[in-house]
A and B are shown apart, each in its own frame.
Chain A
Amino acid sequence: MIFDWDFAYSILPNLVDAVWVTIAATFWGFLLALGLGLVLALLRRSRFRLISWPVGFVIEFVRSTPLLVQIYFLYFVLPEFGLVMSPFLTGVIALGVHYAAYTSEVYRAGIDGVPKGQWEACVALDLSPYRTMRSVIVPQAIPPVVPALGNYLVAMFKDTPMLSAITVLELLQTAKIIGSQTFRYLEPLTMVGVIFLLLSLVASMMVRLVERRLAPAQSSPLLDYTK
Chain B
Amino acid sequence: MLDVFDLLPLLLTGAVVTVQITVMGGALALVMAFAAGLGRLSRSAPIRWLSTVYVEFFRGTSALIQLFWLFYALPLLGVSLDPMVAAVIGLGLNIGSYGAEVVRGAVLAVPRGQYEAARALGFSRAQMLRRILVPQAIPAMVPPFGNLWIELLKATALVSLITLGDLTFQAQMLRTATLQTPLIFGTVLFIYFALAMVMVFIIRRIERRVGRGLDRGGMRT
Residues of A within 8 A of B (CB): 1-2, 61, 63-70, 72-73, 76-77, 80, 158-162, 164-165, 172, 175-176, 179, 184-186, 189-190, 192-193, 196-197, 200-201, 204, 218, 220-223, 225, 227
Contact = CB atoms under 8 A, between A and B. Distances in A.
A162 to B, nearest CB: 6
Given A76-B175, A193-B65, A197-B61, A69 B56 contact: no
A218 B168 CA distance: 41
Contact of B45 (A1, A159, A225): A225
Given A72-B172, A73-B185, A77-B185, A197 B60 contact: yes
B68 A189 contact: yes
B125 A227 contact: yes
B66 interface: yes
Contacts of A223: 41, 108
Nearest to B58: A197
B193 interface: yes
A159 B73 contact: no
Given A73-B189, A186-B73, A68 B160 contact: yes
B145 interface: no
A185 B65 contact: no
B62 A159 contact: yes
Nearest to B156: A66
B64 A172 contact: yes
Contacts of A192: 65
Interface band, chain B: 35 or more
B171 interface: yes
30 contacts: A1-B78, A63-B150, A64-B154, A64-B196, A65-B154, A66-B154, A68-B157, A69-B168, A69-B192, A70-B189, A73-B185, A73-B186, A80-B181, A160-B62, A185-B73, A189-B68, A189-B72, A192-B65, A196-B61, A197-B60, A197-B61, A201-B56, A220-B112, A221-B115, A221-B116, A222-B107, A222-B108, A222-B133, A225-B42, A225-B43
Given A64-B150, A65-B154, A67-B154, A189 B61 contact: no
Interface in B64-97: 64-66, 68-69, 72-73, 76-78
B156 to A, nearest CB: 7
A160 B105 CA distance: 28
Contacts of B116: 221
B188 interface: yes
Contact of B161 (A65, A165, A189, A222): A165
Tell me whether chain B's interface is mostly helix, strand or loop, or mixed: helix
Contacts of B56: 201
B218 interface: no
A193 B65 CA distance: 6
A179 B157 contact: no
A200 to B, nearest CB: 5
A177 to B, nearest CB: 13
A184 B76 CA distance: 8
B210 interface: no
Contact of B69 (A64, A190, A200): A190
Contacts of A227: 119, 125
Interface in B121-143: 125, 133
B155 interface: yes
A160 B64 CA distance: 9
B197 interface: yes
Contact of B60 (A63, A165, A200): A200
A102 B56 CA distance: 23
B61 A200 contact: yes
A77 B72 contact: no
Given A64-B154, A179-B72, A190-B69, 15 more contacts: A64-B150, A64-B196, A64-B197, A65-B192, A66-B158, A68-B157, A76-B185, A77-B185, A159-B62, A161-B62, A162-B64, A185-B68, A196-B60, A220-B112, A222-B115
